[in-house]
């Protein structure tokens, strides 16, 4: 049996047509609607939103801090900045914690959607595809929270860029306002000390915003990875059976591809053997290839049996199309095995006829030196015949197990 892992990263989400094709072929598809990366990205977006709305209050606080710094000196400014940033991050942490807790819960309940012929299954809730109203009510919350319509591309990256652009526009407007303030204050005769306060406040504000954006984004990324890790482990735990089913389908797909590839290799070797009188080096390659065909077939049969048992013991038993499943298994596994059996039996008969011919030729030859090559060739063919006989019997047994 091939080793499997529950989590298989998906680099690019399949388009709707590809999903429909898979469901039409085999009756089951596990769609990863919200990926782990997208869950983490929601935290980045939320942080940028908070920073954007907090940029003006921070500007006001920076102005106050500027007066403190002018009155109390550099130490007073540093203490004031650290206090403000500490309080700011505490508020952000509390807000983000509850926001992310809610999104993590939604992620565990709706990130994966099982698609069958006539149903969607999300978080244990079975929805008929024809019930558009229930589907809309169920999915609308996820579409809004994660900025991704069902079976469509994610808009989270676009949302993040929008938030960043809005933040920098805010900062630009604040900087322009600061400049105008200095310009207006500078017209007064006794404005020297006030301009110094404003400049100091601007410097402090720039320092705070740099820390809030660059340092903050770094720690938010760490924070997001930790909570995502917990949420993703929980998701894998509650959707363990769905991942097993999906992986078994994938394993059977892979086995079917390997069977076809190895069959072509065996055909090539058999053609070469028939031209070269079944030489010893070719016999070894043929035996190796047919043995591999047997192993791949065994893995495919075991996977098929396990898949059917898993489906029959799951909540999908009553909504899954087992007729479609059987037709798919026949196409993926039984038809390739039948094709391989036909090939082996044909060559088995050819070898048998060749052995009979060699026996007849040996009887006609009286010279022992001429009989020896014929006997050697006959022995090789007998060994190959035994090997084919074992593989044929094995594959016939695999077919019976599937039926």
Instruction: Examine residue 7 and state whether it is found in any structural domain, yes or no.
Output: no
Asked if 398 contacts 329 with a C-beta cutoff of 8 angstroms, the reply is no
Note whether residue 92 is domain-resident.
yes
Same domain, 198 and 245: no
pLDDT at 204: 61
Residue 2 resides in a domain: no
Mean pLDDT of 328-333: 90
110 in a structural domain:
yes
Q: Which has the higher per-residue pLDDT, 243 or 74?
A: 243
What is the number of structural domains in the chain? Answer: 2
Q: Considering the entire predicted model, what is its pTM?
A: 0.69
Q: Which residue has the higher pLDDT, 179 or 364?
A: 364
Q: Which long-range contacts (CB under 8 A, 24 or more apart) does 52-59 make?
A: 52/163, 52/166, 52/167, 52/170, 54/88, 54/92, 54/212, 55/167, 55/170, 55/171, 55/174, 55/209, 56/170, 56/174, 58/84, 58/88, 58/205, 58/208, 58/209, 58/212, 59/174, 59/178, 59/205
Answer yes or no: are the C-beta atoms of 320 and 307 closer than 8 Å.
no
Structure tokens given for 287: 């035996």
The CA distance from 370 to 67, in Å, is 114
- Together in a domain, 42 and 177: yes
Confidence of residue 11 (pLDDT cuts 50, 70, 90): very low
Proportion of the chain above pLDDT 70, given as a percent: 76
Are 212 and 297 in a shared domain?
Answer: no
Would you give the end-to-end CA distance of the chain in angstroms? 20
Q: 217 and 250, same structural domain?
A: no
Is 295 in the same domain as 205? no
Q: Is the domain of 128 the same as that of 271?
A: no
**Domain boundary at 188, 208, 238, which?**
238
User: Quick one: pLDDT band at residue 356, thresholds 50, 70, 90?
Assistant: confident
Q: What pLDDT score does 128 carry? A: 92
pLDDT in the model for residue 140: 92
The pLDDT assigned to 2 comes to 39
**Closest CA relative to residue 263, chosen from 335, 215, 206:** 335
- 104 and 184 fall within a common domain: yes
pLDDT digits (tens, 9 = 90+) for 267-304: 888 887 777 666 667 777 888 888 898 899 999 999 99
Looking at 238, 255, 274, which one is the last position of a domain?
238
What's the pLDDT score for residue 216?
Answer: 72
Q: Do 245 and 189 share a structural domain?
A: no
Let me know if residue 101 belongs to a domain.
yes
Of 197, 222, 238, the one marking the end of a domain is: 238
Residues in contact with 106: Cβ distance below 8 Å, sequence separation at least 6, in sequence order: 141, 142, 145, 146
Q: What is the pLDDT of residues 36-52, one digit of tens each?
A: 888 888 888 888 888 77
User: In whole angstroms, what is the distance from residue 123 CA to residue 392 CA?
Assistant: 46
Phi-psi region at 113: left, alpha or beta (left = phi > 0; alpha = psi -120 to 50) = beta
3-state SS assignment for residue 330: helix
Same domain, 249 and 220: no
Provide the percentage of residues in the chain whose pLDDT is more than 90: 15
- Angle at Cα 89 formed by Cα 229 and Cα 51, nearest 5°? 90
Q: What is the CATH number of the domain that holds 347?
A: 1.20.58.70
Write out the DSSP string of 280-294: HHHHHHHHHHHHHHH
* 58 sits in which H/E element: helix 36-110
* Packing angle, helices 322-329 and 16-26, rounded to 10: 90
Whether residues 222 and 268 share a domain: the answer is no
β-bridge partners, 112 = 32
* Range scoring the smallest mean pLDDT among 65-79, 219-233, 289-303, 339-353: 65-79
Residue 1 lies in a domain: no
Residue 5 domain-assigned?
no
Give per-residue pLDDT as tens, 51-109: 777 777 766 666 666 566 555 555 666 666 667 667 777 777 788 888 888 888 888 88
pLDDT at residue 386 is higher than 50:
yes
- CA trace torsion 325, 327, 331, 336 (10° rounding): 100
pLDDT over threshold 50, residue 369: yes
> How far, in Å, CA of 293 to CA of 277, rounded?
23
Does one domain contain both 137 and 209?
yes
With a cut of 90, say whether residue 383 has pLDDT above it: no
Q: Based on the domain organization, do 168 and 195 belong to the same domain?
A: yes
Please answer whether residues 371 and 274 qualify as being in contact, where contact means their C-beta atoms are separated by less than 8 angstroms.
Answer: no
Residue 8, in any domain of the structure? no
Q: How confident is the model at residue 1 (pLDDT cuts 50, 70, 90)?
A: very low
Domain hosting 274: range is: 241-402
SS3 402: helix
């Amino acid at each position: 049996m091939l080793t499997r892992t529950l989590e298989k990263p998906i680099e690019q989400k399949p388009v709707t047509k590809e999903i429909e094709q898979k469901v039409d072929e085999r009756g089951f598809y596990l769609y990863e609607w919200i990926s782990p990366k997208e869950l983490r990205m929601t935290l980045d977006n939320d942080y940028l939103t908070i920073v954007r709305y907090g940029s003006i209050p921070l500007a006001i606080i920076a102005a106050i801090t500027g007066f403190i710094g002018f009155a109390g000196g550099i130490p007073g400014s540093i203490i004031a900045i650290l206090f403000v940033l500490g309080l700011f991050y505490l508020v952000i942490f509390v807000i983000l914690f509850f926001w992310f807790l809610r999104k993590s819960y939604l992620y565990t309940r709706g990130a994966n959607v099982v698609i069958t012929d006539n149903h969607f299954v999300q978080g244990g809730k079975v929805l008929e595809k024809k019930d558009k109203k229930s589907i809309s009510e169920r999915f609308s919350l996820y579409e809004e929270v994660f900025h991704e319509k069902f079976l469509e591309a994610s808009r989270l990256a676009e949302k993040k860029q929008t938030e960043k652009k809005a933040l920098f526009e805010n900062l630009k407007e604040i900087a322009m306002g600061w400049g105008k303030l200095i310009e207006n204050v500078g017209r007064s005769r006794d404005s020297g000390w006030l301009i110094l306060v404003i400049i100091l406040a601007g410097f402090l504000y720039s320092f705070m915003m740099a820390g809030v954006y660059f340092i903050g984004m770094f720690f938010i990324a760490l924070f997001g990875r930790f909570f995502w890790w917990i949420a993703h482990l929980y998701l894998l735990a509650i959707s363990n059976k769905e991942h097993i089913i999906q992986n078994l389908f994938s394993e059977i797909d892979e086995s079917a591809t390997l069977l076809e590839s190895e069959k072509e290799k065996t055909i090539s070797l058999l053609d070469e053997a028939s031209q070269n009188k079944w030489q010893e080096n070719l016999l070894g390659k043929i035996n190796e290839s047919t043995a591999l065909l047997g192993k791949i077939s065994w893995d495919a049969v075991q996977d098929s049996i396990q898949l059917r048992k898993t489906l029959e013991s799951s909540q999908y038993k009553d909504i899954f199309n087992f007729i479609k499943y059987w037709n798919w298994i026949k196409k993926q596994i039984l038809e390739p095995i039948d094709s391989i059996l036909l090939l082996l039996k044909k060559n088995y008969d050819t070898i048998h006829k060749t052995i009979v011919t060699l026996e007849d030729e040996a009887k006609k030859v009286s010279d022992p030196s001429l009989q020896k090559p014929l006997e050697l060739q006959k022995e090789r063919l007998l060994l190959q015949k035994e090997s084919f006989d074992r593989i044929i019997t094995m594959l016939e047994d695999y077919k019976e197990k599937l039926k």
